[in-house]
A and B are shown apart, each in its own frame.
Chain A
Amino acid sequence: MNERTSYYRKIAYGVAIAALLFPLSLLSSPATVTDRGGQLAQMREQYDLGQGDIGEIDPASETIKLATLGLRGVAVNLLWEKANYYKKTEDWTNLTATLEQLAKLQPNFVTFWMFQSWNLSYNVSVEFDDYRDRYYYVREGIEFLQKGERYNRDNFKILKELGWFIGQKIGRADEYVQYRRLFKNDEQFHPADRTLEERDNWLVGKEWYLKSLDAAITKGKGIGRTSPKIAHAAPAKSQMSYAEAIEEEGFFEKAQQAWALAETEWLEFGELVIDHSTGVKLQLNHQPQLEKEVERLKAALEELGPGIREKIAAEKRDKLPEELRATLDAPADQRTPRQNELLYEAEAAVAVSHAEVAQRLAQENPERSRQSRQLASELDDTERKLSYTINYKRDSNFDYWLTRTQFEQTADALDARELMFRAKQAYQDEADPQKAKELYERGFQHWRKVFDAFPTLLSDDGNTPDDVLYFVKDYREALDQLDETIPADFPLWVLIEQFDTERSFAEELQEHQERQGKIPEGDTPEAETPADGTTPADEPTSAEPPQEDEAPVEPPAEVTPPAEETQPQPE
């Protein structure tokens, strides 16, 4: 290699660099007022990748990121370790300071904000004994998350989580009475233009839920992996929780208006087109229409070939092996264990699908082939849609909440609630059991009317009967003070019979049933089965008590965040 070769090589390198720089400069030229810029600038714009598009630009954050000289990952790991250590050693001042530093280092790591704000609101707050200190850290967590929201504008997850924290953590904690009071009077938290009335945790939480949906729908950010039936129901559910909370605090007229609004919002939710995970579009309000449509389509198919379905079924039955046929023929109470095992198989074997009907129709009447196939496919689709709708409605306990918003607005329900409230006051604050008893008894009359007007309350998967049962317990306490027992003409025996799963009214119920002659006097029923052998379900008045696992599913307030289980890795 001589000097000249080396010189040429350098020249070649220089030319190559210049040649590469040229397309690079075209690709990456920044956008100006008149020009959209190079490909990179355009893509950044398109996918919102610019720092300014993600959220607030914080000079402090940028500085510290640069100051770590490329060792941000190391710094973040050390700080996470430190944060865990401070949490372990109950050094809350340094924990919050470390979280501040971390926030500057990884401001766009959404899991960080959600994990650590949860840590503050849920895990750190409970370490304190004084409820005011607890509230302080609940608020710290909320404010921390709000800060995260500023760094990550229009992030559905953070916005939704804010709605949850402000609603559920404050409104469902053991200390919710105190938390709600502190929240209302918290001048440091609320903006100056928020009125005292609006400073309700459920209403503020609802605002954040609405913001989350605005970001997801209007701004097109999407709801990620959250189920649409949960995401869209949240604002209306907050409204209901608000109505429930102020009712408990004794503001009945306001509560009536709040329930009315909740009903409107719940119906709007029912009208909303939501995507099922299979892509089918559903509207929860449309169950009756879908049922009618299924009936209509079935009738239309039947009309094309009357009796075809039964005919196919009979054919299938004839082809069955002897054992399966015998299974189907055997009366339900005389089946052998083996037959019980085979029943599912046998029933599946003789089931006739709409497609099979259509196919047979096509064979028999080729000119109606297209029409019958179309009907069968439409019927399949509609049935599927109906079943999805029913499932989604059941998951969100749609019917119960609708009934709830409706009955709570009635004069009877309002009177009932008010009388319960006054009775409790009379018993607890005025120590007047006689007055309490009278108020309770008047109130239960109203409750009876409510249950008569909305009978589904006794069969829906709702918690109203359980709530009323708590009032009955308070009533019994007042009666105890007066040396009395629940009278025979108590209007809500049906509740005790059906919903006293803890059997706390076992004695009273036995006496009542003896009075009614349902069981012989002095006979003690066994734990589960009354002496006459009838189960409560066999009795004429009873409806199915709600199954525990189907009760309205409100996630408990004190759950560990998912992040707590799987430790998120620093960015």
Chain B
Amino acid sequence: MVLEKELLPYSEWLSGLGWDSALFRFGATVLVFAVLALVVGFLVAMVRYGPLKAGDLTYRVVTNGFKELWQISPRRVMALAGLAVKESLRRRVLVALVIFGLILLFAGWFLRTDNPEPARLYLSFVLTATTYLTLLIALLLSAFSLPADFKNRTIYTIVTKPVRAGDIVLGRILGFTFVGTAMLAIMGVCSYIFVVRSLDHTHAVDLRSVENIPDESGEVIGRRGRTMIEADHFHEFEVEADGRGIAFSEYGHSHDVEQQGDRYAFASPQDFLRARVPLRGKLSFLDRQGSPVAHGVNVGNEWTYRSFIDGGSAAAATWTFDGIDESILKINPEDETQYLPVELIVRVFRTYKGEIERGILGSIQLRNPDTKVKSTVQTFLAKDVSIDEHRFERQQYNPADNQPIDLLEDLVTKDGRVEVIVQCLDSAQYYGFAQADCYIPLPDASPLWNFIKTYISIWVQMVLVITIGVTASTFLSGPIAMMFTVSFITLGFFRDFFVKVAEGTQVGGGPVESLVRLVTQRNLTTRFEPSPAVQLMEALDRVFKGAMQSIAAVLPDFRSLSTVNYVANGFEIPANAIGQQLTVCLAYLVGLSIIGYFFLRTREVAK
């Protein structure tokens, strides 16, 4: 699978050194907001009541605020949450479930079954549909609720009770989250059933193709053949003398086969849904002279995710793995020996045609990072863009002196590090790699739990939208609050682009410059002749860019919150990723609730 951004370990992400740690950024944002709120609040009050009263008011609002925040009562919050749930049900939120049902019912019209990765297609589809639908409901519920209460004056019936503004904000957020969670759970169950049932199929056998498998003495030890085409594919299969066998992997799955007399029964497909658990390493490159370089060669791709190494030279891609011990090794059921499995994805780039029916030759080898002792070289023919497993037996031979060595004792350092070195052997041909392309497979996790985890990340996105929506609705009218939240989400989905524009690294300039380019039909790269008008344009852009940078600091990166990619590609979502997302969610919840509280306090009615 493609992992464009490296996932940092949780502790490093949260409190690692430098400006980029999450905790530091959160602290800085809170500080800036607090100072800004104090100054603006004070200035507004000063204009209205004069400096002395303003100081007093500001002091009181802040102290009261903090006192009230500590006095938030779970009982009151839950009561208000219950109210929010009732209100949501009254607003026929369950219609969304009907829409979801309709989407699933008719999804088959738009999804093709002849894709070689059907599971990926179906999972991407249901998870994306669920995400968008959930975010839409969250948006509509959260943005219109408080403004409607203000408009209908039903808020009076609440504020006359002994509740505080903080209770109202939190109650709404919690209530809508309950509703959303319940709906998400229903959608999750339906999606899972939909995917499993859509992918389920069996095969009939093409009886003309069935033949006996004889052993050396000519005795029949099994039968083999191929199936009829079902769901746009067929399998080769083999059954042993006891009538049990397997239909080999095709379109990302295999089947168990059982011979019943002349008939063959195919079980439901296996391995469609997987949760591979990879132990990932750190990638480094050597150039064709064998000197370390940051990247390999670019073979002319616009997408620079993978970089390439030259064949038939000293160029190599080396992954350093950590934490290798006996527990990582697998046991070969045939001869009970231990081996280290390494899974590798190779992207091949040919500069000449070569032998069309033969893959490009490469080698893979283990090396001790400290002693530099190497394992036996294994050569392989690259299977372009598919996962290929290489096994390193525990017993290895040192190529230097051909003496036997032990994988764990001689190739792995005391602290559990080992290097995997991959080279391309055909000269003038290239192998391309990214860090995520080589890993050591650990036992698979439960695909169901993985599926649930991806729903947790959808849930996190939903809570974020609800929190933003409710907070916006404390000081904006319904439609405006919705627009505000939509803008927040949209910018969040395109955060990378937004940040690039704000930092000035995006080709085409800032907002004013791109507007000028649009109107005057200039392309992105033409230079402007210096003139006062151009200077004015650039000055305006600097102001906008500054504002955009401040906004970028509080924008949630919605795209990185999505874990659909993991599930669709059959990889386990790291607990670390979920942990980071939940932490981000909590940070937004706390921060925005406080902002919402103060804004609601400014409304006449909620004082």
Q: Is A90 an interface residue (CB 8 A)?
A: yes
CA distance A174 to B109 in the complex (A): 37
Whether A136 and B357, one on each chain, are in contact in the complex, defined by CB atoms closer than 8 angstroms, is: no
Whether B360 and A129, one on each chain, are in contact in the complex, defined by CB atoms closer than 8 angstroms, is: yes
Residues in A whose Cβ lies below 8 Å from that of B359:
129-130
Whether A129 and B348, one on each chain, are in contact in the complex, defined by CB atoms closer than 8 angstroms, is: yes
CA distance A178 to B357 in the complex (A): 8
Whether B384 and A93, one on each chain, are in contact in the complex, defined by CB atoms closer than 8 angstroms, is: no
Residues in B whose Cβ lies below 8 Å from that of A89:
2, 303, 305
Q: Identify the closest chain B residue to A177 (Cβ).
A: B356
CA distance A96 to B303 in the complex (A): 19
Q: Is A146 an interface residue (CB 8 A)?
A: no
Whether B110 and A64, one on each chain, are in contact in the complex, defined by CB atoms closer than 8 angstroms, is: yes
Q: Is A542 an interface residue (CB 8 A)?
A: no
Interface code B495-529, partner A: CB below 8 Å = 1, 0 otherwise?
Answer: 00000000000000000000000000000000000
Whether A93 and B117, one on each chain, are in contact in the complex, defined by CB atoms closer than 8 angstroms, is: yes
Whether A93 and B115, one on each chain, are in contact in the complex, defined by CB atoms closer than 8 angstroms, is: yes
Residues in A whose Cβ lies below 8 Å from that of B106:
60, 63
CA distance A104 to B111 in the complex (A): 11
Whether A129 and B112, one on each chain, are in contact in the complex, defined by CB atoms closer than 8 angstroms, is: no
Q: Identify the closest chain A residue to B348 (Cβ).
A: A129
Residues in A whose Cβ lies below 8 Å from that of B382:
129
- Known contacts: A97-B112, A104-B110. The answer to whether A174 contacts B353 by CB under 8 A is yes
CA distance A174 to B355 in the complex (A): 11
Q: Is B207 an interface residue (CB 8 A)?
A: no
Q: Is B202 an interface residue (CB 8 A)?
A: no
CA distance A129 to B383 in the complex (A): 8
Cβ distance A135 to chain B, nearest Cβ, rounded Å = 11
CA distance A59 to B106 in the complex (A): 11
Whether A129 and B353, one on each chain, are in contact in the complex, defined by CB atoms closer than 8 angstroms, is: no
Residues in B whose Cβ lies below 8 Å from that of A64:
110
Q: Is A131 an interface residue (CB 8 A)?
A: yes
Residues in B whose Cβ lies below 8 Å from that of A521:
none
Whether A136 and B124, one on each chain, are in contact in the complex, defined by CB atoms closer than 8 angstroms, is: no
Q: Identify the closest chain B residue to A104 (Cβ).
A: B110
Whether B229 and A187, one on each chain, are in contact in the complex, defined by CB atoms closer than 8 angstroms, is: yes
Residues in B whose Cβ lies below 8 Å from that of A100:
110-112
CA distance A460 to B114 in the complex (A): 48
Q: Is A101 an interface residue (CB 8 A)?
A: yes
Interface code B379-396, partner A: CB below 8 Å = 1, 0 otherwise?
Answer: 000111100000000000
Residues in A whose Cβ lies below 8 Å from that of B353:
174
- Known contacts: A60-B110, A88-B303, A129-B384. The answer to whether A97 contacts B121 by CB under 8 A is yes
Q: Identify the closest chain A residue to B109 (Cβ).
A: A60
Of the residues B121, B303, B384, contact of A130 by C-beta under 8 Å: B384
CA distance A174 to B359 in the complex (A): 15
CA distance A136 to B384 in the complex (A): 14
- Known contacts: A129-B350, A133-B384, A178-B357. The answer to whether A96 contacts B109 by CB under 8 A is no
Docked complex: A126-149 residues within 8 A CB-CB of B: 128-131, 133, 136
Whether B348 and A93, one on each chain, are in contact in the complex, defined by CB atoms closer than 8 angstroms, is: no
Whether B384 and A128, one on each chain, are in contact in the complex, defined by CB atoms closer than 8 angstroms, is: yes
Cβ distance A70 to chain B, nearest Cβ, rounded Å = 18
Q: Is B604 an interface residue (CB 8 A)?
A: no
CA distance A401 to B46 in the complex (A): 95
Query: Chain B, interface size: which category?
Result: 20 to 34
CA distance A128 to B229 in the complex (A): 24
Interface code A77-92, partner B: CB below 8 Å = 1, 0 otherwise?
Answer: 0000000000011110
Residues in B whose Cβ lies below 8 Å from that of A97:
111-112, 115, 121, 124-125
Residues in A whose Cβ lies below 8 Å from that of B109:
59-60, 63
Cβ distance B288 to chain A, nearest Cβ, rounded Å = 21
Docked complex: A108-137 residues within 8 A CB-CB of B: 128-131, 133, 136
Q: Is A480 an interface residue (CB 8 A)?
A: no
Q: Identify the closest chain B residue to A97 (Cβ).
A: B121
Whether A131 and B124, one on each chain, are in contact in the complex, defined by CB atoms closer than 8 angstroms, is: no
Cβ distance B422 to chain A, nearest Cβ, rounded Å = 16
Of the residues A88, A128, A136, contact of B385 by C-beta under 8 Å: A128
Q: Is A571 an interface residue (CB 8 A)?
A: no
CA distance A136 to B251 in the complex (A): 13
Q: Is B545 an interface residue (CB 8 A)?
A: no
Docked complex: A160-201 residues within 8 A CB-CB of B: 174-175, 177-178, 187-188
CA distance A97 to B2 in the complex (A): 18
Docked complex: A49-74 residues within 8 A CB-CB of B: 59-60, 63-64
Whether B384 and A88, one on each chain, are in contact in the complex, defined by CB atoms closer than 8 angstroms, is: no
CA distance A187 to B206 in the complex (A): 13
CA distance A507 to B124 in the complex (A): 64
Q: Is A94 an interface residue (CB 8 A)?
A: yes
Q: Is B302 an interface residue (CB 8 A)?
A: yes
Q: Identify the closest chain A residue to B346 (Cβ).
A: A129
Of the residues A94, A128, A178, contact of B124 by C-beta under 8 Å: A94
CA distance A97 to B116 in the complex (A): 12
CA distance A451 to B114 in the complex (A): 52
Of the residues B112, B116, B302, B357, contact of A88 by C-beta under 8 Å: B302
Q: Identify the closest chain B residue to A100 (Cβ).
A: B112
Cβ distance A147 to chain B, nearest Cβ, rounded Å = 10
Q: Is B232 an interface residue (CB 8 A)?
A: yes
Whether B115 and A96, one on each chain, are in contact in the complex, defined by CB atoms closer than 8 angstroms, is: yes
- Known contacts: A129-B348, A130-B384, A136-B116. The answer to whether A93 contacts B356 by CB under 8 A is no
Interface code B226-269, partner A: CB below 8 Å = 1, 0 otherwise?
Answer: 00010010000000000000000000000000000000000000
Residues in A whose Cβ lies below 8 Å from that of B232:
188
Q: Is B374 an interface residue (CB 8 A)?
A: no
Whether A175 and B356, one on each chain, are in contact in the complex, defined by CB atoms closer than 8 angstroms, is: yes
Whether B356 and A178, one on each chain, are in contact in the complex, defined by CB atoms closer than 8 angstroms, is: yes
Cβ distance A142 to chain B, nearest Cβ, rounded Å = 13
Cβ distance A107 to chain B, nearest Cβ, rounded Å = 13
CA distance A90 to B385 in the complex (A): 10
CA distance A88 to B117 in the complex (A): 19
Whether B112 and A96, one on each chain, are in contact in the complex, defined by CB atoms closer than 8 angstroms, is: yes
Docked complex: A15-47 residues within 8 A CB-CB of B: none
CA distance A64 to B353 in the complex (A): 43
Whether A90 and B303, one on each chain, are in contact in the complex, defined by CB atoms closer than 8 angstroms, is: yes
Q: Is B120 an interface residue (CB 8 A)?
A: yes
Interface code B341-357, partner A: CB below 8 Å = 1, 0 otherwise?
Answer: 00000001010010011
Residues in B whose Cβ lies below 8 Å from that of A91:
2
Cβ distance A346 to chain B, nearest Cβ, rounded Å = 51
Q: Identify the closest chain A residue to B120 (Cβ).
A: A93
Cβ distance A196 to chain B, nearest Cβ, rounded Å = 15
Docked complex: B417-463 residues within 8 A CB-CB of A: none
Residues in A whose Cβ lies below 8 Å from that of B348:
129
Docked complex: B371-420 residues within 8 A CB-CB of A: 382-385
Cβ distance B207 to chain A, nearest Cβ, rounded Å = 16
Whether B229 and A188, one on each chain, are in contact in the complex, defined by CB atoms closer than 8 angstroms, is: yes
Residues in A whose Cβ lies below 8 Å from that of B120:
93
Q: Identify the closest chain B residue to A175 (Cβ).
A: B356
CA distance A104 to B359 in the complex (A): 38
Docked complex: A463-493 residues within 8 A CB-CB of B: none
Q: Identify the closest chain B residue to A64 (Cβ).
A: B110
Residues in A whose Cβ lies below 8 Å from that of B356:
131, 174-175, 177-178
Cβ distance B383 to chain A, nearest Cβ, rounded Å = 7
Residues in B whose Cβ lies below 8 Å from that of A131:
356-357
Cβ distance B417 to chain A, nearest Cβ, rounded Å = 31
CA distance A97 to B109 in the complex (A): 12
| The 6 nearest A-B residue pairs measured at CB | A129-B384, A60-B109, A129-B348, A93-B117, A88-B303, A175-B356
For the complex with contacts A63-B106, A97-B115, A131-B357, 10 further pairs of A-B residues with Cβ separation under 8 Å are: A60-B106, A60-B110, A64-B110, A94-B121, A96-B115, A104-B110, A131-B356, A174-B356, A178-B356, A178-B357
Can you show 20 pairs from A to B with CB atoms below 8 A apart?
A59-B109, A60-B106, A60-B110, A90-B303, A91-B2, A93-B115, A93-B120, A97-B115, A97-B125, A100-B112, A128-B384, A129-B350, A129-B385, A130-B359, A130-B384, A131-B356, A133-B384, A177-B356, A187-B229, A188-B114
Residues of A near any B CB (own CB < 8 A):
59-60, 63-64, 88-91, 93-94, 96-97, 100-101, 104, 128-131, 133, 136, 174-175, 177-178, 187-188
